[in-house]
Structure 1
Amino acid sequence: MRGTDMSHTARAHTLQEIFGRPGTGPLAGVVVADLSRVLAGPYCTMLLADMGATVIKVESAAGDDARAWVPPHRDGESTFFLSVNRNKYSIALDFTDPEQLALVEQIVARADILVENFKPGGLARYGLDYETVSAWRPDLVYASITGFGTAGGAELPGYDLLAQALSGMMSLTGSQHGEPYRAGVALFDVITGLHASTGILGAFHERQASGRGQHVELNLLSSALSGLVNQSTAYVAGGTVPARMGNEHPSLYPYEPFPARDKEIVIAVGNNGQFARLCACLGVPALAQEQRFATVAARNANRAALRELMVERLAVRDAEDWFQRLMAVQVPCAPILAVDEGVRFAQGLGLDPVALAGSGDREIPTVRHPVSFSRTPVDYTQAPPRLDGDRDRVLAWLESGKPAVRKAS
């Protein structure tokens, strides 16, 4: 049975009437059954929701684990949960109850896309695994996110911190002679969520031509190794095992923070022209022509000497002064800001990083969707949902279609 039980336009109109979304985004009329929780899956489905998809977030009676992850919070609600769940509709269902499981199946029956991050094999007991569902929904795009795949890593818990450790990421983070550090955010959950949205959209595009869905599988470790880009490729292609270098870059110099008179400033030189302009701004233009520093390779080989010279010149001005002077001559640089300062800096650039999701007394400040569309803009109609807060609307939507589904076993 096809999930598209009516024309796309008619479905989009019905969804707009029942759920109240304006239907302007590029995915308006697309329905996503979101069986994921915590971060990687919810981040993926929020991106799809922002683009207009109707995302039905199916939660247990206890709700997404992230609802309890405090502090910090906003009016008692976890900001972790709020960060990845806007524009969704929540319904709480008990998979172990046959009647409620039947409702889950009805949601799946009317969806175009399903996203889940259960432990490998966890949905099989409910008949909601890919093999079972694809037999009666061959057109469904079914995305599964795991920590370490479904073979040898199936039993490993899917935590971002484990992926940072096992991928080699932590071996690269921290000072050269210090202890390894994790990134300050669950980086590989986010990267996996991004990869998931890309894979889903690719499979959905193909479905439009073939009429058939497919299984899109992702795991944190594969996303981590892909996300390590030049560092992982240094080993697989060059046989070089990268090591911790603090804030330095393995291939470029200068490319790290330097102390100015009052505080540090990041200087990131990527080519010889930028280095020449840097030297001129520092008042030592001849430095760019010295054999020790004239090329990328030479600067890498003589880092210590170059750093000593730069620190001496940078000490005569404050970081903000250098920031203005270096940017004026197109030398990449930046002060090191706290998160609040970073948000305000983006605001100063006109990037409008804060988007209010929802309306009235349920209007939550969130971080704006990173993509702008010239014809089909994203919207922020729905605040992150309260647990089971959209049950009536979801049930009304199910009643509006009455698709035939297999009976729950």
Structure 2
Amino acid sequence: MTGEARDPDGDAGPLDGVTVLDASRVLVGPFCTMQLGDLGADVIKVERPDGGDQTRHWHPPTYGDSDESAYYVSVNRNKRSVALNLASEEGREVFRDLAAEADVLVENFRVGKMEEWGLDYGDLRERNPDLVYCSLSGYGEWGPEKDRPAYDIIMQAEGGLMSITGVEDGMPVRVGVALADIGAGMYATQAILAALLERELGDGTGQKIDVSLLDGQVAWMTYMASNYFATGDPPGRMGSKHPTIAPYQAFETADGYVVVAVASEHIWPDFCRALDREDLVDDPRFAANADRVENRDELDALLAEEFAAYGTDEVIEILREHDVPASTVRDMAEVFDSPQVEARGMRTSVDHPTAGEVEMPASPMHFSRTPTAVRRHPPLLGEHTDEVLRETGYSPDEIERLVAADAVAPSPDERSDG
């Protein structure tokens, strides 16, 4: 808690000593709290006893012959699970006790649900004024659409992303991962860290944080939004092309695709030399980037013909020999076979009690002194219920009473001992 001296070393992350109460599920909240867990926080994941986080059951695929959903595993490492029934007053009282000891609370119930349960920020800060309370929702806690249900594809559509994603004159396309959830999860993590720092630098009190998926998508529009503000014309879909740089896109080769990025004027002559088309360097249609953007259609047609004569590996080797940024379009297998990805330690694994060894992307945050790490496997439902309640001060008899009242479900080992 605030004010305590910290001396993390060895395997401890920079948030060692910070306790996070995670009352979230599916993706946006769990992605946020996984990052906090990667950074060393003790993340206590609160789940419904009857099935837990919905993503536990989003399969196939699963790991091996287990029932562990690959989706759930992807965003729930470095957490402990408590099976707690928030629909019961006894369960809510346990939650209040957990929140009284926490530094951070993250929740993504529908707007108003925590207030209905007596678990909103105003209720919990009375016992724990230094609590940082982060609410995540589709549309935020105010505004005319605050009560609407939210899903990533709807957020990508309403936040503008699908209007600029896809082939020109084709159907709008959803980005292949749930960027609205992941983006809001990143903003939530950033906001939580800022609130923790402000708490330490200030008078030790916490505050409420409100992050929405829609706000995150709108913020991510960055230069596309600025292009609209500057011209009054909403940008449209351009496939892999860039609105203000050319060529900066994918081209079809004789056996696949190559992606090139002629992102500055000094690359253009090297690009032309690589394709043995030095005549294009001073061609007035293409001499400067502004010219290339203005005459994009002519340039695209010319370059499409050039690239079609090469094999993908051949042309990438030539382009890289001339210091022109170029790549294939890698699939997941190729990504995780990459020597650079391997060298950066971005493929990791952890032993799981029912699924065996499970692999996952590692944390991209690298510290010189307080490393991120996969310290815990994605937990089984309620795996740590008894452990966490004992740490909070509950006696074995009190835990047994809560189990009998259906306020909590016992840990799996306790359940098997029957």
Corresponding residue for residue 191 of structure 1 = 183
User: In the TM superposition, what whole-angstrom CA distance separates every residue of 1:57-92 from its partner, at most 9, and x where no partner exists?
Assistant: 001112011111112221221111100000100001
Deviates more, 1:341-350 or 1:162-171: 341-350
Return the letter of the residue paired with 2:215.
S
- Bigger drift between 246-255 and 353-362 goes to 353-362
Instruction: Give the Cα–Cα distance (whole angstroms) in 1 for the partners of residues 27 and 122 of structure 2.
Output: 25
1:270-285 matches, cutoff 5 A: 270-285=263-278
| RMSD of equivalent CA atoms | 2.2
37, 42, 47: which one pairs with 2:30? 42
TM-aligned CA distance change 1:322 to 1:266, over 3 Å? same
Contact 2:11 2:371 in 1 (8 A): no
**1:149 is aligned to 2:140:** yes
Q: Alpha-carbon deviation of 1:229?
A: 1.5
Contact kept? 2:78, 2:378, Cα under 8 Å: yes
Q: Report what 1:248 is aligned to.
A: 241
Query: C-alpha displacement at 1:310, in angstroms?
Result: 1.7
Residue 262 of structure 1: aligned partner: 255
Q: Give the match for residue 164 of structure 1.
A: 156
Q: Output aligned runs, 1:9-408, within 5 Å.
A: 9=6, 24-61=12-49, 62-74=51-63, 75-151=66-142, 152-210=144-202, 211-345=204-338, 350-358=343-351, 362-399=356-393
Structure 2 unaligned residues grouped into runs of 5+: 396-418
Structure 2 counterpart of 1:370, one-letter code? P
- Provide Cα deviations, 1:121-143, integer angstroms capped at 9, x if missing partner: 11112211112222332211111
Secondary structure of the residue aligned to 2:319 is helix
Label 1:23 to 1:338 Cα distance change in 2 as closer, same or farther (>3 A).
closer
In structure 2, distance between residues paired with 1:283 and 1:311? 14
Shift of 1:202: 0.3
Alpha-carbon contact 2:135-2:210 (below 8 Å) kept: yes
User: 1:89 aligns to what SS in structure 2?
Assistant: strand
Q: Which amino acid aligns with 1:195?
A: Y
Partner SS for 1:91: strand
Displacement of 1:271: 1.1
**1:147 and 1:348 mapped to 2: Cα distance?**
33
Judge conservation of contact 1:161–1:182 (CA < 8 Å) in 2: yes
Q: Which range moves more in the overlay, 291-300 or 244-253?
A: 244-253
Equivalent position amino acid for 2:344 in 1: L
Cα deviation for residue 32 of structure 1 reads 0.2
Q: How high is the sequence identity, in percent, across the aligned residues?
A: 37
Amino acid at match of 2:283: E
Letter in 1 for 2:76: N
Cα 1:346/1:213, change in 2 over 3 Å? farther
Pair 1:313–1:328, CA change in 2 (3 A): same
Q: Secondary structure at the match of 1:342?
A: helix
Secondary structure of the corresponding residue to residue 90 of structure 1:
strand
Change (3 A) 1:27 1:145: same
Aligned residue identity for 1:68: H
1:9 Cα offset (Å): 4.6
SS of 2:266's equivalent in the other structure is helix
1:148 CA drift (Å): 0.6
- Structure 1 position 214, deviation (Å): 0.7
Partner of 1:16: none
Q: Report the Cα offset of residue 101 of structure 1.
A: 1.8
Q: Residue 265 of structure 1 aligns to which amino acid in structure 2?
A: V
Q: Distance in 1 between matches of 2:184 and 2:88?
A: 32
Q: Secondary structure at the match of 1:135?
A: coil
- How big is the shift at 1:100? 2.2
What is the alpha-carbon distance in structure 2 between the residues aligned to residue 165 and residue 365 of structure 1?
32
Distance (Å, rounded) in 1 between the aligned partners of 2:209 and 2:232 = 31
Distance of 1:184 and 1:145 partners within structure 2: 22
Query: Post-superposition shift, 1:348?
Result: 6.1
Whether contact under 8 Å (2:33, 2:189) holds in the other structure is: yes
Residue 399 of structure 1 aligns to a residue whose secondary structure is: coil
How far apart are 1:8 and its partner, in Å?
Answer: 4.7
**2:96/2:124 contact within 8 Å kept:** no
Query: Mean alpha-carbon deviation: is it higher for 203-212 or for 165-174?
Result: 165-174
Give the 3 Å change call, closer, same or farther, for CA 174–300 of structure 1 in structure 2: same
- Say whether the 8 Å CA contact 1:90–1:389 is kept in structure 2: yes
Return the offset for 1:349: 5.7
